Amino acid sequence: MSHRMPKSERSLRQRAEKRARLTAHAGLATWGERLVPLGQFRSATAAAGRTLDSAAQEATRRDFLSHQPDPTTVEGPYSRIAVFGGVYNNHPALAALLDEVTSRSADAIYCLGDLGGFGPHPNKVRPLLEEGAVRVIQGNYEESLAANHQDCNCGYTDPRDNHFADVSYRYTAENTSLGFKRWMGTLPRRRRVLVGNRELLLVHGSPRRINEFLFASTTPVPFLEMLLDQEKADALCCTHTGLEWHRPLPSGRDAINVGVIGRPANDGRPVVRYCWLEEARGKLAVELVELAYDHRLLAQEMRREELPNEFIETILDGWWTTCLEILPARERARSRH
């Protein structure tokens, strides 16, 4: 009654099938779902596509990289400015930052976006920004809140990460006033500012996309030079990743991720970072500054608001606990979790 083959026969057959698979392509090529003689594929391939001469190649490359001029008004010139990103509702850090840069006599203060998420009491951020006359750029968080999106659309692989991303977005969405959200919708996507004679382009993620991650280990020099060529700027300042870096470029220009003041830089210390830029004899002096603030006070408030313990832990010990998937291999290797 059984139609099953005896075991030995089955494994013989499996082995024959495997051998057939391993040798299936001798002398043949796969063209779509068909097998064709190798020569046939090769000659079709040799004839396909276009081949430009070297002058045409050069022109094509130039054309391809050409870029519309940016009509953004240039602010300044200033002698020294402070630039920071990622407040993440961390109002004690914002207050500490404003104290510090005021005492250092900043000519202007810029925030590169991501005001909310993670921390407590989103509405405490706005009066501080106004008091400090901070000039703000729209981040992806502001974009989503202003558009009333229901979730942050982070789309992590790990369900745990999606859960935490969701908790943090929902808390901020529910606790941000309508007026604040509307104001977020009016923020510019980029600014340009002169420090001395150096023209800086300020963006949230990258000049191309509000949510592009520029990490130190995955943002190569030729790419940055290309962006600055296209934008006709002497320096680029961005945030979005949460990790700060500065790369002086061979062309003499600078690329800077200013980091965030909302949470520590995943290095086991509770301090946060901002960027201080100064004119120095026709050049740009770049300083990535560590900022200590009352992080215990923040942790207390987060506890009272019943924000996840995982977030509070990060504020206290400086290590990220969730959404680590965005980190490239090198940054991930340095992280604790």
Site residues, other proteins (CB under 8 A): 18, 21-26, 28-33, 38, 41-42, 44-52, 56-58, 60-61, 63-65, 157-159, 208, 215, 217-220, 222-223, 225-227, 324-325, 328-333, 335, 337
**Residue 50 beta carbon to other proteins: minimum distance, rounded to whole angstroms:** 5
The residue (of 140 and 172) whose beta carbon lies closer to other proteins is: 140
The residue (of 51 and 103) whose beta carbon lies closer to other proteins is: 51
**Residue 332 beta carbon to other proteins: minimum distance, rounded to whole angstroms:** 6
**Residue 64 beta carbon to other proteins: minimum distance, rounded to whole angstroms:** 4
- From 157, 125, 159, select the one nearest 141 (Cα to Cα): 125
Whole-number Cα distances in Å, 3 to 6, 11, 67, 300, 335:
9, 16, 69, 70, 56
Contact by Cβ (8 Å): 212, 255: no
Structure tokens at 315: 């504020």
d(CA 23, CA 40): 19
Burial class (CB in 10 A: 0-12, 13-18, 19+), 22: exposed
Query: To which H or E segment does residue 41 belong?
Result: helix 38-47
d(CA 133, CA 98): 10
Structure tokens at 31: 């063209």
The residue (of 22 and 178) whose beta carbon lies closer to other proteins is: 22
**Residue 298 beta carbon to other proteins: minimum distance, rounded to whole angstroms:** 26
The residue (of 128 and 324) whose beta carbon lies closer to other proteins is: 324
**Residue 220 beta carbon to other proteins: minimum distance, rounded to whole angstroms:** 3
The residue (of 5 and 292) whose beta carbon lies closer to other proteins is: 5
d(CA 123, CA 115): 10
The residue (of 54 and 103) whose beta carbon lies closer to other proteins is: 54
The residue (of 104 and 334) whose beta carbon lies closer to other proteins is: 334
**Three-class DSSP category at 294:** coil
**Residue 256 beta carbon to other proteins: minimum distance, rounded to whole angstroms:** 17
d(CA 98, CA 129): 9
Compute the residue count for the chain. 337
**Residue 279 beta carbon to other proteins: minimum distance, rounded to whole angstroms:** 28
